Amino acid sequence: MQDVQQIRNTVILGHGNSGKSTLAEALLFTAGSVNRLGKVDDGTASMDCEPEEQKRHVSISTAFNHLTWQKNEIFLLDTPGDDNFVNETLFATNVADTAILTVGAVLGVRPQTGKFVGMVQNKKLPCLICITKMDRERANFSNTVEQIRANFDLNPVITHLPIGAEENFKGVIDVLAQKALLFDDTGKTTAAEIPDDMADEAETLYETLAEYIAESDDDLLEKFLEEGELTAEEMQAGLNQAVEKGLISPVIPCASFKNFGSSVILDAIVGLLPSPDRRPAIVGTNPKDGELVEFEAAVDAPFSALVFKTMADPFAGRLTLFRVFSGTLSGDNFYNANKELSERYGQLYLVEGKEQKPVDKAIPGMIVAVAKLKETTTGDTLCTEAKPVIFDSPEPLPSVLSYAVSAKKGDEEKLFASITKLLDEDLTLKLTREQQTREVLLSGVGQVHLEVINEKLKRKFGVEMELKTPKVPYRETIKGNTTVQGKHKKQSGGRGQFGDCTVELSPLPRGEQFEFVDSIVGGVIPQQYRPAVEKGIIEAMEKGVLAGYPFVDLKVNLIDGSYHSVDSSEMAFKVAGSLAFKKGVMDAQPILLEPIMELEVRVPKDFVGDVMGDLNSRRGKVLGMDSTDKSEIVNAHVPQAEILLYSLDLTSMTGGQGTFTVNFSHYEEVPSHIAEKIIEGHKNQADE
């Protein structure tokens, strides 16, 4: 493979159940890359090769394969449509040159479709729109196209019109060529005359297409206005240019389950979508001087590539996938600009479903993989040391659902070692430790996401995890002031124990933790014993007095005491300090504090009322609202205890259209009626 002009790099995007993987299977089968037409529903799809995907009949990871069509190499990236795994789609789209957007002819535009359109527009990708499942009951091509036109700024233009629908879908009309293409039972096409009852519609669409093409180029527009038409050559060249610029998104109907339309789509990928060298040069930053640098998609340019996915395998080790943007990679090493080191690799591979095919070199546009790299991770830029560069990589989507995790059968060390391996593969997965509750928290994008992680752990590493709702890190403090004596006196034959201290307890402003003041005058407590009083109080604070939570925001002033020349010791004064604290706190209006989180919720305007009502029911305080073109942003302070599983509730409330971010803000007093329940629960637990 030598010619960049003969490479196409295409990401397949679309909402869940829009037929992405089925389309990819049909394209591979039609091109002869696979010898059977795999089916998602029966688990035979080569692109959905993970057992978790076959079980759930949905894509979980981006799948890769490539095919040859008309002497062109087409690299396909088949991405997930489920919200739990959309991070995979984000990273795949970042390295693609072009896109195929799938929209089901039955379901039409779904709420999630907007996310994928946003990715296409953000990267300014030339895009084909495939209206899938035209053979299904209630399939409606024209309604689906109108939904796309009404909801998104994609400028969909029908280049292929379906002949029939539902069980009668049997072909398409090529609007530009003004001919019919009929499908046989194997999916192969035969050219034919346009049916008489569709001739007028086909001609109207041709005129519409000519207008769109003319409007995309000043020279063509001038000729079109003067002569009223364009030549076939001008139409084809103008269409290619308009698609390349993102001014037109061709619309093609298909029924991939029957392999109807696959060859038409392959022709469009090769004929309408641009090769890597026709895309804008990629821009990165020179890490030495911070200057912007461009890299052209040419085989003789300096090598550059971006790592966008890492796969963990218990047998093969770590598999690192990257997209080559410029130059030619061969040999046995490259320079990692992020880590500032050279790494050796063994063999370059093309990823074909669950298999890897060795390849000698890689040129711009290719997706390739290497195994067992020690330092390189997702987001790193690979290049030459002579011309270093760092390319931008997307920020992973935030982890919004957390559970306390433990090993189901007690092998904690193996569990956490296995999870750590998956962290390289899945950047939305987070493993943290909550110091106060001593729980290890596993955080992900959603419930299904974490369930799939558990299934992977069991299959790949033979360990299973148990997930529990995490504990809330409550704290305790006081609202009032008090003066109290703590006295420890014990006599049991021989040397006794004696410590006596008087302290003033008072609250500190929220967040100031602890302050100890030594106000002893004279020698009522010798200097060597006073630190022990502080130590005893600090140790007692760790366990609290109301419900076992750490005590905070407390000022202690040591003002008086007494000692015994023989029986006093550091330990005795430590116990005295602890007694003074426990006794005094109960006289100083002790209260529970709860963490308050800063919540930012993004939802379509239709759901704002529901979201705000729900936040109010969670004891939330709405701080304000902002608007964007397509969504409303609600900012609020909400107790952490009320939003531990908010991800699940928001998804249910908004049909998956709502997103949110959450960060710790501050601590506030727990309302008394709730505090009573928490304290009671602690007492019951202690009694068990």
Residues near 442 by Cβ (< 8 Å), separated by ≥ 6?
Answer: 402, 403, 405, 419, 429, 430, 431, 450, 453, 465, 467
Domain that holds residue 100: 4-278
264 and 143 in one domain?
Answer: yes
Classify residue 531 by its DSSP letter.
H
Neighbour order of strands in the sheet with 156-158? 63-69, 72-78, 7-14, 98-104, 127-132, 249-253, 156-158
Beta strand spans in 216-336 (E):
249-253, 282-285, 292-295, 304-313, 317-326, 333-336
Residue type, 361: K
Query: What DSSP assignment string belongs to 404-455?
Result: EEEETTS-HHHHHHHHHHHHHH-TT-EEEEETTTTEEEEEESSHHHHHHHHH
**39-48, 199-208, 378-387, range with the lowest pLDDT:** 39-48
The residue out of 444, 465, 486 marking a domain boundary is: 465
The residue out of 383, 412, 431 marking a domain boundary is: 383
538 and 580 in one domain?
Answer: yes
Task: List the CATH number of the domain containing 230.
Answer: 3.40.50.300
Residue 684 lies in a domain: no
- CA of residue 454 relative to chain centroid, distance: 17
Phi, psi of 229 (to 5 degrees): -160, 165
531 and 448 in one domain?
Answer: no
Residue pair 89/22 in contact (Cβ under 8 Å)? The answer is no
Which pLDDT belongs to residue 36? 77
pLDDT at 56 over 70: no
pLDDT at 175 over 80: yes
Residue 686 lies in a domain: no
360 and 415 in one domain?
Answer: no
37 and 79 in one domain?
Answer: yes
323 and 249 in one domain?
Answer: no
Residue 354 lies in a domain: yes
pLDDT band at residue 35 using 50, 70 and 90 as cut-offs: confident
Q: Give the 3-state secondary structure of residue 290.
A: coil
The residue out of 256, 278, 300 marking a domain boundary is: 278
Residue matched to tokens 């960049």: 4
Higher pLDDT, 99 or 311: 99
188 and 58 in one domain?
Answer: yes
Question: Residue 648's closest CA among 385, 466, 468, 449?
Answer: 449
Residues near 244 by Cβ (< 8 Å), separated by ≥ 6?
Answer: 126, 273, 274, 278
Residue 391 lies in a domain: no
190 and 129 in one domain?
Answer: yes
pLDDT band at residue 92 using 50, 70 and 90 as cut-offs: very high
Query: What confidence tens digit (pLDDT) does each residue in 246-301 have?
Result: 999 999 999 999 999 999 999 999 999 999 999 999 999 999 999 999 999 999 99
The mean pLDDT of 391-401, rounded to a whole number, is 90
pLDDT at 431 over 70: yes
Task: List the CATH number of the domain containing 352.
Answer: 2.40.30.10
The mean pLDDT of 194-219, rounded to a whole number, is 91
Domain count, the chain: 5
Q: H-helix or E-strand containing 116?
A: helix 113-123
Query: What confidence tens digit (pLDDT) does each residue in 410-430 have?
Result: 788 889 988 988 888 889 999
Which pLDDT belongs to residue 507? 96
Please, which residues bridge with residue 295 across strands?
282
pLDDT band at residue 686 using 50, 70 and 90 as cut-offs: low
Residue 679 lies in a domain: no
Q: In Å, what is the CA distance from 266 to each residue of 39, 77, 164, 188, 536? A: 19, 14, 21, 12, 76
Burial annotation 563-573 (CB, 10 A radius, 16+ → b, else e):
beeebbbbebb
% of residues, the chain, pLDDT over 90: 70
pLDDT band at residue 6 using 50, 70 and 90 as cut-offs: very high
Classify residue 568 by its DSSP letter.
B
Higher pLDDT, 172 or 226: 172
271 and 151 in one domain?
Answer: yes
Residue matched to tokens 């046995």: 332
601 and 504 in one domain?
Answer: no
Query: What DSSP assignment string belongs to 308-360?
Result: EEEEEETTTEEEEEEEEEES-B-SSEEEETTTTEEEE-S-EEEEETTEEEEES
Residue 681 lies in a domain: no
Task: List the CATH number of the domain containing 512.
Answer: 3.30.230.10
Residue 395 lies in a domain: no
Residue matched to tokens 């909402």: 15
Which pLDDT belongs to residue 7? 96
Q: In Å, what is the CA distance from 564 to each residue of 381, 498, 579, 580? A: 71, 6, 18, 18
Residue pair 224/230 in contact (Cβ under 8 Å)? The answer is yes
pLDDT at 316 over 70: no
Task: List the CATH number of the domain containing 456.
Answer: 3.30.70.870
Task: Tell me the C-alpha distance between 417 and 97, whole Å.
Answer: 37
Query: What confidence tens digit (pLDDT) does each residue in 545-595 have?
Result: 999 899 999 999 999 999 998 889 999 999 999 999 999 999 999 999 999
295 and 249 in one domain?
Answer: no
Higher pLDDT, 630 or 344: 344
Residue 683 lies in a domain: no
Which pLDDT belongs to residue 283? 96
363 and 272 in one domain?
Answer: no
